[in-house]
Amino acid sequence: MELDETFGSEQVGSDERRRRIRRVFEAVAPRYDLMNDLMSFGIHRLWKRTMARHCSGVQDTVVDLAGGTGDVARLLAGKHGKVVVCDPGLAMMREGRRRAGAPLLWLAGEAEALPLRSGSIDLLTVAFGLRNATRLEAALAEIHRVLRPGGRFVCLEFSRPHFWLRPFYDLYSYFVIPRLGAWVARQPIAYQYLVDSIRRFPDQASFAAALQVAGFADVAWRNLSFGIACLHFGTKPHEA
The dihedrals phi and psi of 62, each to the nearest 5 degrees, come to -120, 135
- Per DSSP, helices labelled H in 98-187 are 136-146, 166-171, 177-180
Structural element, H or E, at residue 147:
strand 147-158
Q: Return the beta strands (E) in 19-120 as ranges.
A: 61-65, 82-87, 105-108
Write 173-181 long-range contacts (CB < 8 A, 24+).
173/198, 177/39, 180/35, 180/38, 180/39, 181/28, 181/35
Tell whether the model's pLDDT for residue 2 goes beyond 80.
no
pLDDT per residue over 180-218, tens digit each?
Answer: 766 765 666 666 677 788 888 999 999 999 999 999 999
pLDDT per residue over 123-165, tens digit each?
Answer: 999 999 998 888 999 999 999 999 999 999 999 999 999 999 9
Fold classified for 16-235: Rossmann fold (3.40.50)
Contacts of 29 (CB under 8 A, 6+ apart): 69, 89, 91, 92, 94, 95
The count of C-alpha atoms lying within 13 angstroms of the C-alpha of 154, restricted to the half-sphere facing its C-beta, is 22
Percent of the chain with pLDDT over 70: 80
Give residue limits of the domains in the chain. 16-235
Beta partners for residue 155, in sequence order: 126, 232
